[in-house]
Structure 1
């Protein structure tokens, strides 16, 4: 999508959303659980969510017109929540076993592996619940579940927190969609058939299964029905998308509708629009429509045009595809754009489209730092697949954990294939196109440096919120080491706060302590920790609540944030020195050759 074009983690609903008579509560019994052995444990939480969403739908149905709420009367939402709670609990089971018996990391493969993990989880937790569960002739009652949760308050509290976050996020999504509906209908239309292409109602939601941040939030794919009865898809991102808009957005749509909607974030042109000036349309860098909302606030969110994955291209398109890819390499290097792994680069209509540009202005000294080159990409047509998002959790026995979601593999959308032979078109076959595209854009950036530096000021880039990259693998290793110390979560949290208070009395709190305590806050929510900054000259790191980390330096897990000033300085140097420009081009051309 200009976001992740990956399948939903929930099974799609086979029934159409109801027009008003049914309720989600009535559909709970019909769920097909991914982890049926765990169903009695998390069904109370699923029912809680169903009742809360039913109440919100009822409010919307009392008003007119009803264009959004009926899509939420869909059992797929409950399916996703039940699967999520099951994932958390299975993750806890694996870690409980490791902690209890010191075994090697449990390999949870297929249904048999999940069943064994669940058995071990209940056996380790012990008590009446496991005894009843083990006996196939005995039904596990609600009273048994209540006793289990009462005896395992950390597990119960965590599952409840995940559920309440889910409810709050669904309510917020309904509110935002109802408020923004007219704006979406105006902005996301095909110019050739504007009236027929206007959306009239929301029909379906798919949850992306991406990492959870900021209170269980994740990307959601929205499907609308248009006036002519066709489906239109948009991507809802519950975070600030202003940086995406500034870099690859279609500002012309904002200018066209600025008189109708005073809340639109007006900007003259995006970076790609600026660089496309004077270039023939077929060679222009890809842009797409993006609508930022509540920019710069904790409740920032936005809508992004859905971009399909078009994997088959002909030979002429392949030359263009890799030429544009080379240009994007130069832009990513110069502007510190990172995290373009796997689904963050999508092949669409014969060109590579960059999506999810929230990690900009970072410290990039190598093309591999951008993730556009290196790793699995070398000579194989970019990444094929990788393990899915992380699951965060904590329970009464295993403290907390940060693990890859079991059984989840993402497939790349960045590879292209011959439309005739269906064979992979490897980037090394078009290395010259990549090299020439890279050199062309490096020279273009140097030539237009003054315009781009002025663009920074016009677009007020220094005020935009940018996400800062965290080394999740290192964080997971740190947490696993802490868990081996057999401390309770409460003791660990209290110890961190005590250290922070002691440091505060002597001076500024160290970055290590500040970041560690903020990580614990995120983990308690079931979130992957996330950090942000505004790339002004005094870029200051912020946590997910936009509270500044007033520390003299950052720790090893989180490198120092970059800044607009660094990019300005780089552009000025390239513009003022032909020798430096040639040296930079030669250096990175050599890196491209090495990688391909």
Structure 2
């Protein structure tokens, strides 16, 4: 296969890449072919290898859409580039390779019009960098298996999904699955990934023309999210006769707010937003076991749009036909929209600080219909909060004040591509604006961020704490906490970025051509565990033993399947579970890499009086079940004025202190291209 043949072949697959990336597709085109065969033929067969005739017919429009192969190509390309950089450098060091440009490297080292020669070249490339070859193979396998499992589940749930939205249109019918779009999220729990689903729907009451409906498919336990922000009416209707919950936390908040406003119409508090979530196979309904079936959990989430339309025409700076979830137009009462938005964000800050809703960074706040919607609330109820910045609502990439996450989203480009022997692969970090902020239209059609309205944020926080205090005084949360029994929440021994960077270190920034994938991961983890263990050993032996999550038997198993490790906690217990549902072991003795090149062995132990060779003075991750501690120290105390006021002051002061800081980004405005 030469470049012309490859380009023609990519066209038949529906994969569109710019010329430099199209050349790189030679390194993984066989996996694109395998995926094309899988989606178009293999799945159109009986189970277990296929979906079955009825299920395949329902999912066929999505499975045969070229966007799946396009997204797979982008995933594989990212992980192929580090190996390419190494192999180009090696080729350029000896004649005739030192005279190659980027294109000539492929023409002379990779492409060949003789199919067998081309195959041999690809095999030689992969054999030279075994870790990269294994990673690309695993990623392709993850992608295909995740799509198949999602399709199996979606077809089985199609009537439940129709009921999920039936209150919006009693004659709504979901006809077929039109599109599956990867969100670009990391793989986890055995190669699973969040997907955006688009259904073809019809409704005789609305139109004879089919239309579209979007929904999020998430292969995780959504029970905690639903108990916090879910619409109880919707989920109880779908799961009838099962009553999933009496009220979500936000619904309890809104009910108490309504009672307060009934007695005091001048109270400025605003209700918070709920939305639709549909947990499937949630773990509180499963008997306690070790391991727990964490990988069987999944669910669906209402697609929270962040859209803009009608901006193609303007009249003297006005957009009379425009509408947007996040963009404010000159014809609108912007002050009122901004005021209400930040009062709701302030109230949510009170809720997050009280119930330890963590990891609320820019990716986990979404603006829809000019209101803030928090998502991914499964990291909750386990970590004490005495500063709102701990929730990540405020900070360098805070859900309230952040705009971008620098250094996270990246892509590859060819540098010095036309320089003989000088081409190399360079990572670029384009600016990506998240969907957590309000923007306004400026003169000339540019978009400018709305600065954080600190006074209304604080006003909303004060209202939120007042509502929570009144709710606790009335014992509104007792039933909700009782419902939490055995619910599984996610915990973060380390930030997701830390876990991801360890994999990046093994496969990108520190890729060693001499090592297999397992060897490279072993090296990275051994070094990191050594440093983390030493930090722990020098402490007071009261901290959480986070370093144990990095063991090869824990995180290492996930990395071998190109998963980002995830850990969970079942409320009411003192343990955490790995991505396979097994309780994480707390050993008496830990071996870590010594202060040299791994694997020089060294055993270090934290001395504990009366317990020989002990790492911990307990056999569990938490010294005590964390949720009751959160309830007592952050919720129960709100029921009495003597303890509620100091708690509110503590959290409020942390917000004010953040905005006093130089990096608060409270007044910084970013400008992006025209609407």
TM-score range (shorter-chain normalised) is: 0.7 to 0.9
2:493–2:549 Cα contact (<8 Å) kept: no
Q: Tell me the C-alpha RMSD between the 2 structures.
A: 3.9
1:464 alignment partner in structure 2: 488
Does residue 100 of structure 2 align to residue 85 of structure 1? Answer: no
Q: 1:208 aligns with which of 171, 178, 183?
A: 183
**SS, match of residue 331 in structure 1:** helix
Q: Distance in 2 between matches of 1:560 and 1:125?
A: 60
Match of 1:103 in 2: none
Which one has the largest radius of gyration? 2
1:456/1:462 contact within 8 Å kept:
no
Q: 2:17 and 2:448 mapped to 1: Cα distance?
A: 38
Deviation string 1:542-565 (CA, Å, 9 cap, x unpaired) is 1111111122669xxx99997321
Q: Out of 644, 658, 661, which is 1:581 matched to?
A: 644
How far apart in 2 are the matches of 1:78 and 1:152? 24
Matched, 1:411 2:397: no
CA-CA distance at 1:236 after TM superposition: 0.7
- Check 1:594–1:80 CA distance in 2 against 1; reply closer, same or farther (3 A cut): same
**Counterpart selection for 1:519 from 544, 549, 555:** 555
Candidates 438, 444, 452, aligned match of 2:461: 438
| Closer/same/farther in 2, CA of residues 292 and 553 from structure 1, 3 Å limit | farther
Q: Which of 78, 84, 106 matches 1:133?
A: 106
Counterpart of 1:565 (choices 628, 639, 658) is 628
1:183 paired to 2:188: no
Distance in 2 of aligned mates of 1:57 and 1:171: 8
- Give the structure with the larger helix fraction: 1
Task: Quote the Cα distance in structure 1 between the aligned partners of 2:348 and 2:235.
Answer: 24
Q: Distance in 2 between matches of 1:124 and 1:290?
A: 57
1:243 positional shift = 1.0
Task: Tell me the residue number matched to 2:271.
Answer: 284
In 1: Cα distance, 2:546 partner to 2:142 partner: 28
- What are the residue-to-residue correspondences of 1:441-452 with 2, within 5 Å? 441-449=464-472, 451-452=475-476
Alignment of 1:422-571 (within 5 A): 423-427=448-452, 430-449=453-472, 451-468=475-492, 470-475=494-499, 480=505, 490-491=518-519, 512-513=547-548, 515-517=550-552, 518-536=554-572, 538-551=573-586, 563-571=626-634
SS, match of residue 232 in structure 1: strand
Q: 1:160 to 1:477 in 2, by over 3 A?
A: closer
CA contact (8 A) 1:388 1:408 kept: no
Matched, 1:337 2:357: yes
Question: Corresponding residue for 1:268?
Answer: 246
Alignment of 1:25-424 (within 5 A): 29-33=13-17, 35-59=21-45, 62-63=53-54, 66-93=57-84, 96=86, 119-120=88-89, 133-135=106-108, 138-139=112-113, 141-191=118-168, 193-195=169-171, 197-228=172-203, 229-259=210-240, 266-280=244-258, 283-296=270-283, 297=293, 298-309=295-306, 310-313=325-328, 314-363=334-383, 364-376=385-397, 381-388=401-408, 407=429, 409-418=431-440, 423-424=448-449
Contact 2:521–2:559 at 8 Å: present in 1 too?
A: no
- Alpha-carbon shift at residue 247 of structure 1 (Å): 0.5
Question: Conserved in 1, the CA contact under 8 Å of 2:358 and 2:390?
Answer: yes
Structure 1 residues 270-279 or 446-455, which shifts more? 446-455
Partner deviation per Cα, 1:500-524 (whole Å, 9 max, x = no partner)? 9xx9xxxxxx863552312222221
C-alpha displacement of 1:84: 0.9
Q: TM-score, normalized by length of structure 2?
A: 0.68
Contact 2:236–2:243, Cα closer than 8 Å, also in 1: no
Going from structure 1 to structure 2, the CA distance change for 1:68 and 1:476 (only over 3 Å counts) comes to closer
**Distance in 1 separating the partners of 2:77 and 2:478:** 51
Residue 349 to residue 492, structure 1, CA distance change in 2 (3 Å):
closer
| Aligned equivalents of 1:559, 1:383: Cα separation in 2 | 35
> Tell me, which stretches of 5 or more residues in structure 1 are unaligned?
1-24, 97-117, 392-403, 504-509
CA contact (8 A) 2:216 2:303 kept: yes
Q: CA deviation at 1:308?
A: 1.5
- 5+ long unaligned stretches in structure 2: 1-8, 46-50, 204-209, 262-268, 284-292, 307-324, 329-333, 412-425, 534-544, 587-614, 660-675
Conserved 8 A contact 1:347-1:416: yes
Q: 8 Å contact 2:24–2:77 — kept in the other structure? A: yes
Determine the C-alpha separation between the residues in 1 that align with 2:246 and 2:96: 65
Partner Cα distance (1:148, 1:460) in 2:
52
CA distance in structure 1 between the aligned counterparts of 2:393 and 2:91, rounded to whole angstroms: 44
Q: Which residue of 1 aligns with 2:321?
A: none
Decide whether the 8 Å contact of 2:511 with 2:520 is kept in 1: no
Instruction: Measure how far apart 1:28 and its partner are.
Output: 5.5
CA distance in 2, matches of 1:246, 1:385: 29
Residues 365, 373 of structure 2: 8 Å contact kept: yes
CA–CA separation in structure 1 for the residues paired with 2:519 and 2:127: 20
